[in-house]
Amino acid sequence: MTKLLPTTSAGSLPKPSWLAEPEKLWSPWQLADEALAEGKRDALLLALAEQRGAGIDIVSDGEQTRQHFVTTFIENLNGVDFENRKVVHIRERYDASVPVVVDEVTRKGPVFVQDARELRAHTEATIKWALPGPMTMVDTLYDDYYGSREKLAWKFAEILNEEAKELAEAGVDIIQFDEPAFNVFFDEVKAWGVQALERAAEGLNCQTAVHVCYGYGIEANTEWKKTLGEEWRQYEEIFPQIQNSSIDIVSLEAHNSHVPMDLIELVRGKKLMVGAIDVASHTVETPAEVADTLRKALKYVDPENLWASTNCGMAPLPRDLARAKLGALSAGAQIVRDELSF
């Protein structure tokens, strides 16, 4: 990537209303069987067109073929019971009814590889593909078999590595692991979290990223954020480990967030996807606001390592709003790009 300040979305994009009910997480599909398969494929290509139309440089599938960033992956594994669910307290924040690990977990087969081929066939742009991280997967399940979060995480890391290798082979340029759980379980991050993440990324012939955020703009997250105080210093706990890891890129929150910008100094040398778009607000950022966030980041990151991104995924937002936010991201990045080239 030679272009300065390339733009990208950190995660999901809203789905068309004919595919899934809008503005909802875990939104049920509106289609079934073959019509659903075709609808997902169409939505993937629309998401690509919308990103390119908004001037986004590094594109994704917009997660159009998945109901949820973690559970859809888990649905494609053996050893997990989706019928007899149990309630767990996800990331110490909210209760959710989740599937139960009842046997050894293995991958039934490729999960997103066909989708990745589809996207690759339709664009020359750099492609980034998101997968859940091992720790976040562990935290979205009830384990009745391994008896240890760490053991289960290592198992998931192996499975994720199989999928990631096949995605890279299908033409994906960057594999991003989503680890919002890293912002909550610091002791586990230090003990095994980053190592499990590195295992998931082992031997990949593409770039790797880790996305650590404060979550979608849903109520449970908004309430949790109120308890975090004036300054959000969670990154301070985990960045030193990430800095020493094999992961190439770090995706983080910045705009409208209470994260002190100087914390990104802790991962100097890595490429940074700095969130300049707030996904928890229905106000569209101005290009000037985006530029302002990027300029602040440039005090602590070299220009060639700075990518302009959203804070998190935008799946729960209205579609036109998400599109406008992507447009603002591009326009804001262009302002700073122009400044840097003088």
What does the binding site for Zn ion look like in residue numbers (CB under 5 A)? 213, 312
CB of 223 to Zn ion, least distance (A): 17
Contact of 151 with 137, CB cutoff 8 Å: no
How far apart are the C-alpha atoms of 301 and 271, rounded to whole Å? 8
CB of 253 to Zn ion, least distance (A): 8
Q: Is 193 exposed, middle or buried (0-12, 13-18, 19+ CB in 10 A)?
A: buried
User: What is the C-alpha separation between 26 and 9, in angstroms, rounded?
Assistant: 20
Query: Closest distance between Zn ion and the C-beta of residue 66, in Å?
Result: 14
Closer by beta carbon to Zn ion, 277 or else 298:
277
Among 181, 57, 179, which Cα is nearest to 128's?
Answer: 57
User: Which two three-digit tokens encode residue 129?
Assistant: 């593909």
Rounded to an integer, what distance in angstroms lies between the CA atom of residue 98 and that of residue 113? Answer: 25
Residues in the chain: 342
Residue 312 CB, shortest distance to Zn ion, in Å, is: 3
Q: Nearer Cβ to Zn ion, position 218 or 324?
A: 218
Which CB, 213 or 290, lies closer to Zn ion? 213
- Shortest distance, position 70 Cβ to Zn ion, whole Å: 11
Residue closer to Zn ion (CB basis): 39 or 313: 313
Please state the closest distance from residue 137 (CB atom) to Zn ion, in A. Answer: 14
**Closer to Zn ion at the Cβ: 64 or 155?**
64
The nearer residue to Zn ion, 133 or 327, going by C-beta atoms, is: 133
Nearer to Zn ion, 51 or 221 (CB): 221
Q: Helices marked H in the chain — which ranges?
A: 33-53, 71-75, 113-122, 134-138, 149-169, 186-188, 194-200, 219-226, 234-243, 287-297, 319-340
Q: Which H/E stretch holds residue 278?
A: none
Structure token pair of residue 53: 């139309």
Q: Please, are residues 325 and 314 in contact by the beta-carbon 8 Å criterion?
A: yes
Q: For residues 200 and 213, which CB has a smaller minimum distance to Zn ion in the complex? A: 213
237 vs 216: CA distance, rounded Å: 21
Residues 60, 45: Cα–Cα separation, whole Å:
10
Of 156 and 214, nearer to Zn ion (C-beta) is: 214
Neighbouring CB atoms inside 10 A of 177's CB total 28
Q: What is the DSSP letter of 204?
A: -
Distance between CA atoms of residues 53 and 41, nearest Å:
18
CA gap 92, 214 in Å, rounded: 13
Residue 251: φ, ψ to 5°: -105, 120
Give the shortest CB-298-to-Zn ion separation in angstroms.
23
Shortest CB 12 distance to Zn ion, Å: 9
Q: How far is the CB of 231 from Zn ion (least distance, A)?
A: 20
